[in-house]
């Protein structure tokens, strides 16, 4: 299967107001958009891999990004680069972090870092990281984890990785 297009877009927009006693309030607003569009080629960024699932409290889901099976086509793939990750969760509070063994540290500074996200049954939380140049994935740099850290709630997650095989 050939990837023909990939684009990651992240937009932050805001409005903030300052009350000024005796005068009209002052309002500032704006937006910032970032677009990551890696070059799609047979030798670079060329595959999307996505997982969806649920995790009960205390459950850790570990994904080995160096040895994957594409579920739609039952095809084994072995990525050697990662260009982006997007995570969307709902239902519980959890973490996305490097694996306990053979950790893929990117986009963090070291293996002990984690991104903690919060969600409820009516609110989902998401994040995205992307880079124009691929970060290495190998037999010793491959594992990432999604962890449910919240009470009795079930975490529902969807993770997509933009990879190079």
CATH number at residue 50: 2.60.120
- Could you tell me if residue 15 is inside a domain? no
pLDDT at residue 113, rounded to an integer: 93
pLDDT at residue 111, rounded to an integer: 92
Give residue 14's pLDDT band: very low, low, confident or very high (50, 70, 90). Answer: low
- Provide the whole-model pTM: 0.77
- Could you tell me if residue 156 is inside a domain? yes
Nearest Cα neighbor of 157 from 128, 130, 126, 129 is: 126
Q: How many CB atoms lie within 10 A of CB 99?
A: 19
Give residue 42's pLDDT band: very low, low, confident or very high (50, 70, 90). Answer: low
- Could you tell me if residue 1 is inside a domain? no
- Could you tell me if residue 119 is inside a domain? yes
Give residue 12's pLDDT band: very low, low, confident or very high (50, 70, 90). Answer: low
- Could you tell me if residue 104 is inside a domain? yes
- Could you tell me if residue 9 is inside a domain? no
Residue 19 has pLDDT above 70, yes or no: yes
Q: Which residue has the higher pLDDT, 156 or 120?
A: 156
- Our count of domains for the chain comes to 1
Range of the domain at 95: 38-164
User: Tens digit of pLDDT for each residue in 65-120?
Assistant: 999 987 777 888 899 999 888 888 888 888 999 999 999 999 999 999 998 888 76
Residue 60 has pLDDT above 80, yes or no: yes
- Could you tell me if residue 136 is inside a domain? yes
User: Tens digit of pLDDT for each residue in 117-148?
Assistant: 887 665 567 787 877 778 999 999 999 999 99
- Could you tell me if residue 4 is inside a domain? no
pLDDT at residue 20, rounded to an integer: 86
Q: Which residue has the higher pLDDT, 20 or 60?
A: 60
């Amino acid at each position: 299967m050939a990837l023909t297009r990939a684009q990651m877009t992240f937009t932050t927009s805001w409005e903030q107001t300052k009350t000024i006693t005796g005068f009209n309030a002052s309002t500032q607003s704006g937006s910032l958009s970032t677009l990551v569009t890696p070059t799609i080629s047979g030798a670079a960024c060329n595959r999307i891999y996505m997982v969806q699932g649920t995790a009960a409290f205390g459950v850790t889901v570990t994904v080995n990004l160096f040895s994957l099976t594409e579920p739609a086509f039952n095809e084994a793939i072995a990525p050697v680069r990662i260009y982006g990750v997007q995570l969307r969760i709902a239902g519980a509070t959890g973490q996305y972090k490097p694996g306990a063994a053979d950790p893929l540290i990117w986009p963090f500074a070291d293996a002990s870092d984690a991104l903690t996200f919060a969600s409820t049954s009516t609110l989902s939380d998401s994040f995205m990281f992307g880079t124009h140049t691929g970060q290495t994935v190998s037999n010793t740099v491959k594992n990432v984890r999604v962890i449910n850290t919240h009470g009795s709630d079930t975490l529902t997650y969807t993770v997509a990785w933009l990879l190079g095989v």
